[in-house]
Amino acid sequence: MIYTDPDGNFWNFVIGGVLGGISGWQIGKAQGAKGWGMFGYIAGGAAIGVVTAGLAEGVAGAFVSSNTVGASMGAYATAGAVAGSFSGAGFAALSGNTIGKGALIGGLIGGLGGAVSGYLQYNQIGVSMERSMANRSQWMACKDCAWTVNKPEVVVKRGMLDYGSPLYDALVAINDFNPLAIAVNSMYGYLYGRDTAGRPLSGMEATANLLSLAVPGGRGAGIAAKGVTQAEYTFTKTAAKHLTEVVKRGENAGQLARPYMNSPLTIQEIMSTSKGTLDATFKGGMNWRVPGTFRGSQGIWELGINPKTNVIYHFNFTHP
Amino acid sequence: MKFEIEYTGVSEDRLLVYRIEEYSFDMEPWIYELDFEIAINTITLAVVDKKIIQLNGFCGLNKKMKSNFEVPKSQKGILKVLDDLEPGIGSYSAGKEDLPIYVNTNTGWVCIGNPEKKGNAVEFVNSCVAVIDDDKGFVSLWLKPDRLPDI
């Protein structure tokens, strides 16, 4: 029998084990452990990390259809609380502290972090699934777009609580300090070159983020490093001409013709719909064609970009 | 989409270039105001007062596109869009599918569309020729930039 792991759950256990081992090493170091004693701390921490990952996975998985924001937050909060309690108790025991206190603090932190993760997951996955269902007939009718997945709608304007809104971005930023989210996001960074929110995340940044967990105060350094290497998009001279073009007449007179070119989030959303297709000529170029809306009009987002250099050579919204 | 040609003996005075490092057509000078755009593959043609005044866009060229097709004889004039299209909501594709591209490295002309189908040809911008059939439909776009890449 061959076991497949299409969701990549295996990596959650690996990451949990590695992070737990690092925490165990930190505790062992603080306790002055050496040799086999240190090995015991590392092994104990790794075991706690693996079991914690399993608990989080198992409890979250029990809530299969979290199709409302409340259900999603509840599922992830419960998973976070259970895993956090176990983790807190385990590491408290390892470091000789009160187990009950460790479990309580771990549970609270895990539950809070889980609730935030649940909110983010719902907005990114749940809403796009709802949109996908709502637009299924349109998608199926669009033969040119049959290969696109997940996000049939790429919208420019958003409400306060919508995916991509300032509040949503703030919650994403808070989650940058959630160890579980850091681990999962790093895994996504290694595998897909972006985090679960669709933001570009290189392997180097992912490694820096993981290492920052093991160094006291290192998370701030990790965030700072990420800020320095945060992807900026640049345009070819030809494409850049459309950045400042203005509509002369009609309802949108005086407005930019392609305001979306100034929206990194729109670019990231388009890129998050699929892996894209390799361009035949532009070096390292990948192309996306994604159905969506712009100024209330249905059409196709067309994006051509080199994801390594973030150079955009084509970005347009067209009506077939 | 329907087009109309008005032969005036004058075409838009621009310099058509091919940016080899960007794999794209571009032109100078550039006007930053428009009503809407027509898209032919990834090239966009800007429309002001129904007239197509300029174009640019990504267009990768490779050796598989090499051909010996000759640019049709044309006269200078204006290429107009007859459709009443709403400005500011994106570009409008001239065709339902991506059109084939042919490069004649001997003459320096690039053809996007059907090079063999006959029609009325107009040079609406210097070194830019459009062929429109009798039903006012788009047939092909011919471009001769200042230089072409080695393919």
Query: Region A197-212: what's the mean pLDDT?
Result: 68
Q: Do B57 and A318 touch (CB under 8 A)?
A: no
pLDDT of the residue at B12: 96
> A295 at the B interface (CB within 8 A)?
yes
Query: What band does A216 get if pLDDT is binned at 50, 70 and 90?
Result: very low
**B103 in helix, strand or coil?**
strand
> How far is residue B125 CA from its own chain's centroid?
9
Q: Please report, for residues A14, A40, A98, the alpha-carbon distance to residue A92 in angstroms, rounded to integers and kept in the order given.
A: 22, 15, 6
Looking at the predicted structure, is the pLDDT value of residue A256 above 90? Answer: yes
Q: Do B42 and A296 touch (CB under 8 A)?
A: no
Which of residues B71 and A138 earns the better pLDDT score? B71
Let me know if B118 is exposed, middle or buried by CB neighbors in 10 A (0-12, 13-18, 19+): exposed
**B57 to chain A, minimum CA–CA distance in Å?**
6
**Separation CA A127–CA A57 (nearest Å):** 21
Residues 6+ apart with CB under 8 A from A194: A188, A200, A201, A268, A271, A272
**Separation CA A178–CA B10 (nearest Å):** 66
**Residues of chain B with C-beta less than 8 angstroms from the C-beta of A297:** 86, 89-90
Residues 6+ apart with CB under 8 A from B41: B57, B59, B98, B99, B101, B112
Query: Region A261-290: what's the mean pLDDT?
Result: 93
**Separation CA A237–CA B113 (nearest Å):** 25
Residues 6+ apart with CB under 8 A from A83: A52, A53, A55, A56, A59, A110, A114, A180
**Separation CA A164–CA A176 (nearest Å):** 16
Structure tokens at A245: 């073009």
Instruction: Please answer whether residues B96 and A320 qualify as being in contact, where contact means their C-beta atoms are separated by less than 8 angstroms.
Output: yes
ipTM for this model: 0.96
- DSSP letter at A243 equals G
Residue B80 pairs in a beta bridge with B4, B51
Task: Round the average pLDDT of chain A to a whole number and report it.
Answer: 72
**Separation CA B11–CA B106 (nearest Å):** 25
Structure tokens at B33: 């105001």
| Closest listed residue to residue A252, CA positions, set B42, B93, B3, B85 | B85
- DSSP letter at B126 equals T
Query: Which pTM was predicted?
Result: 0.55
Query: Region B54-75: what's the mean pLDDT?
Result: 97
Element (H, E) at A27: helix A9-30
Looking at the predicted structure, is the pLDDT value of residue A133 above 50? Answer: no
Neighbours of A272 (CB within 10 A): 20
**Which residue's entry shows tokens 């996955």?**
A125
Neighbours of A138 (CB within 10 A): 12
Residue A314 pairs in a beta bridge with A304
Query: Region B58-79: what's the mean pLDDT?
Result: 97
Instruction: Please answer whether residues B106 and B69 qualify as being in contact, where contact means their C-beta atoms are separated by less than 8 angstroms.
Output: no
Query: Region A264-276: what's the mean pLDDT?
Result: 92
pLDDT above 90 covers a percentage of chain A that reads 24
> How far is residue A231 CA from its own chain's centroid?
15
**Separation CA A196–CA A194 (nearest Å):** 7
- What is the count of residue pairs from A and B with beta carbons less than 8 Å apart? 111
Interval A75-123: pLDDT, tens: 777 877 887 788 788 777 877 778 888 788 878 887 887 777 766 655 5
pLDDT of the residue at A132: 37
Looking at the predicted structure, is the pLDDT value of residue A73 above 70? Answer: yes
Instruction: Please answer whether residues A38 and A84 qualify as being in contact, where contact means their C-beta atoms are separated by less than 8 angstroms.
Output: no
Instruction: Please answer whether residues B57 and B43 qualify as being in contact, where contact means their C-beta atoms are separated by less than 8 angstroms.
Output: yes
Interval A152-183: pLDDT, tens: 344 434 445 444 456 655 666 666 666 667 77
pLDDT of the residue at A94: 77
**A276 to chain B, minimum CA–CA distance in Å?**
16
**Residues of chain B with C-beta less than 8 angstroms from the C-beta of A236:** 19, 22, 24, 58
Q: Which of A144, A295, A313 sits opposite B89 (nearest CB)?
A: A295
Which of the residues B15, B18, B22 would you substitute to probe the A interface, choosing the one with the greatest number of A C-beta atoms within 10 Å?
B22
